[in-house]
Amino acid sequence: METRCVSFDDSSSKPGARIILATLFVIFCWAYSPIGIRIGLQAYEPGQLALMRFLIASVFMVLVAMVKGISWPRFRDLPLLAVLGFFAVSLHHIALNYGQRGVSAGAASVLAQSTPLFSTLLAHFVFKDKVSGWQWGCVLCGLLGAGVVVTGDRGLGDMDAHGLLILLAALSWSLYFSLHKRHCYRYDGLTMVCYTVWSGTIVLFIFAPGMLSAARHASASVNLAVLILGIFPSALAYLAWAYVLAHSNVSRASMALYLIPPTAMLMASLVLAERPSAMVIVGAIIVLTSVLALNLEPANGAKAS
C-alpha cells in the first residue's frame, strides 16, 4: 500500500508501543490480503469475491460509524465520494481479483507496491506537478522492476496478462490517492473511509447474481478466509493505519509498509505453499528500492510530503 491522507485527529506524539503494534497489525493485515484473495477465488468469481468482501467491510464500518459518529455528506460532494469509491474499491479490487487468477500472492503484493510510481506519473501528466530527474529515474527503475516481476512470476519469457491487471489495480489506487489527498480536508478520516467503502460497494452490486449460491457452496475455510478479508484488511487495517498517521511522522510510518511484500511472501509460503521465483525476488528488490528512493529524494530536489 502507500501513504494515505486520513486521520481522526491532528495530534502527534512520539512513537510508542501502541504505534508499533498498530503498524505491525496493518502490515500483517495487508500482507494477508493477497493470500485471502487467492483462497476466496477457490469458490467465488472475482466480482463476487469483491462484493462479498466489501459487504462485510461495509457492515463493519456501519457499526463503527454508529459508535464513533460521522458527519452527513454534502450533496455537492456526492460525485467526489462516488469517484473515490470507484477507484479505491470497485475498479481496484475487480482488477486485483481478476489479476490474482494468474499471479502468485507474493508477486501481487509486490506489484501493488508500485502505486507511488503511478502517483508520480499522475502528478506530472494529470495534475501538472513538477517531477524532478531523481523521481523520473525512480519511476523508470520501478516500472522495470514491475516488468521483471510480471515476466518472472511464471518463468522467464512466460509473461501473463494477469500481472498487468495488478498494475491496473495499482494505477486505480493511485488515482484514488491523488484525488483523496487533494480533498481529504473536507471530512474527517473516518467519514471519508466510510463513504468511500460504501459508495464503492454499491457499484459492486452488479456482481450480486450467483454470490449467495457461491457462499452456500463454499467450504467453511474459504468463507472464513473471506470474512477475515472483509474485516481485517478492508476495515480494521484502515482504522489502525489512520491511528498510526495521526500519531507519528507520515514518511517514517510509510516506510514500514515496504515490509508488506516480504511478509506476504512468507505468509504465502506457509499458507499456500507458494515459493517466489528468483526473478520475482529480484523484481521485488528493484520495485521496493525504487519506491523507497522516491520517498528519500535528496533535499535539493525533494518536494513536501
pLDDT tens, per residue, the chain with 305 residues: 343 444 444 444 455 888 889 999 999 999 999 999 999 999 999 999 999 999 999 999 999 999 988 999 999 999 999 999 999 999 999 999 999 998 999 999 999 888 888 888 888 888 778 888 998 999 999 999 998 898 887 665 555 678 889 999 999 988 988 888 778 788 888 898 899 999 999 999 999 999 999 999 999 999 999 999 999 999 898 888 878 877 776 666 677 888 899 999 999 999 999 988 888 999 999 999 998 888 777 655 444 43
pLDDT of residue 250: 62
d(CA 152, CA 160): 9
pLDDT of residue 60: 94
pLDDT of residue 15: 52
Contact 105, 35 (CB under 8 A): yes
Residue 217 C-alpha cell reads as 457452496
The position carrying cell 477475515 is: 228
| 5 part of a folded domain | no
| 64 part of a folded domain | yes
| 130 part of a folded domain | yes
* Segments of 91-248 assigned E as strands: none
pLDDT of residue 8: 44
Contact 173, 90 (CB under 8 A): no
| 301 part of a folded domain | no
| 34 part of a folded domain | yes
pLDDT of residue 96: 95
pLDDT of residue 282: 93
pLDDT of residue 11: 44
pLDDT of residue 298: 67
pLDDT of residue 305: 38
| 8 part of a folded domain | no
Residue of 240, 111, 230, 268 lying closest to 174 (CA atoms): 111
Count of domains in the chain?
1
Does pTM top 0.75 for this prediction? yes
| 47 part of a folded domain | yes
The position carrying cell 487533494 is: 182
DSSP state of 248: S
What domain range includes position 252?
Answer: 17-295
pLDDT of residue 153: 79
Judged by DSSP in three states, 142 sits in helix
pLDDT of residue 303: 45
